[in-house]
Amino acid sequence: MRKVPRQARSRQMVERIITAGRDVLVADGYDAFSTNRVAARAAVSPGSLYQYFPDKGAILDVVIARYWDEVAELVAASLADRVAETGPTLVRSIADALVAALEADRTLLAVVARELPLQLNGDRLEALERQIRVLTSALLGVRPVGMHRPSPQVASWVVVMAVQNLALRWVLDQPAGITREQLVDEMEALVVGYLAQP
C-alpha cells in the first residue's frame, strides 16, 4: 500500500477498493483485472485509488492475502473447537475443516488456484500450509493413539499435503458421483491407514 489511510473516511474508501478488487477478480478473472475496473466498481476516481495502491498488483496482494487469511482462520477455528478429539475422529475433523474452509468461497478459490501466476499465490498458500501443519503436528504430537509414524512433524506434512490436495481438487472440480461425505470418508481412511503403518 502506497499510503496508510488515517481518517475514517479514507479507511472506508480503502476497504471499498479492496472489496471492489475482490469482486472484479471474481467477476472478470485475473486477465481482465485492472485498476480502472476496480475504481469504477468502488465508485472512486482512479486518482483516489492510486493514492493508496500504486498498481493493480498492490490491490491483488491485499485481496489474495486476505483470502488465504480467511481460509486459515476458518480451519484454525474449526480445529480449535475439536481439540478433545483423537484418532480417526481427529483426522476426519482436519479433513472436514479444510474442505469447509475451501468451500466457503469456491468462486474466488477457482480464480486464485487456476488463474493467478504462481508468484502471486505461492507464498500465501505455503503460509497456510505451514499454519495447518503446525496445528496438525501439535494435535498428532499430543494424541498418538493409533499413530505409529515416528515423527509427528513429518506425518503432519504428509497428512496436510494429501488432505489439502484432495480437498482442493474436489472443491474445484466437483467430480460427479462423489459427495462431500464420501470425500471425507475416503480422506479419513487414507490418513488413518497411513498413520497406523509402523
Q: Does residue 138 share a domain with residue 167?
A: yes
CB atoms within 10 A of CB 90: 25
User: What residues have CB less than 8 Å from 10, skipping those under 6 apart?
Assistant: 52
Phi-psi region of 43 (alpha: psi -120 to 50; beta: other; left: phi over 0): left
Enumerate the H helices of the chain as residue ranges.
8-28, 35-42, 46-52, 56-80, 87-103, 106-114, 118-142, 152-173, 180-196
Q: Does residue 20 share a domain with residue 115?
A: no
Q: Indicate the angle between helix axes 180-196 and 87-103, nearest 10 degrees.
A: 140
Q: Does residue 67 share a domain with residue 50?
A: no
Q: Could you tell me the end-to-end alpha-carbon distance of the chain, in angstroms, rounded to an integer?
A: 50
Work out the average pLDDT over 173-191. 93
pLDDT at 114 over 80: yes
**Which band of pLDDT confidence, cut at 50, 70 and 90, is reported for residue 83?**
low
Q: What is the C-alpha separation between 132 and 155, in angstroms, rounded?
A: 12
More confident residue, 122 or 102: 102
Q: What is the pTM of this model?
A: 0.81
Backbone angles phi, psi at 63, to 5 degrees: -60, -45
Cell of 34: 485492472
Q: Flag whether 38 is in a domain.
A: yes
Q: What is the pLDDT of residues 27-75, one digit of tens each?
A: 999 999 999 999 999 999 999 999 999 999 999 999 998 998 898 888 8
Q: Does residue 90 share a domain with residue 163?
A: yes
What is the residue type of 23?
Answer: D
Work out the average pLDDT over 98-110. 92
pLDDT of residue 140: 64
* Arithmetic mean of pLDDT over the chain: 85
Q: What is the pLDDT of residues 4-21, one digit of tens each?
A: 767 888 899 999 999 999
**Which band of pLDDT confidence, cut at 50, 70 and 90, is reported for residue 97?**
confident
User: Looking at the 3D structure of the chain, how many domains does it have?
Assistant: 2
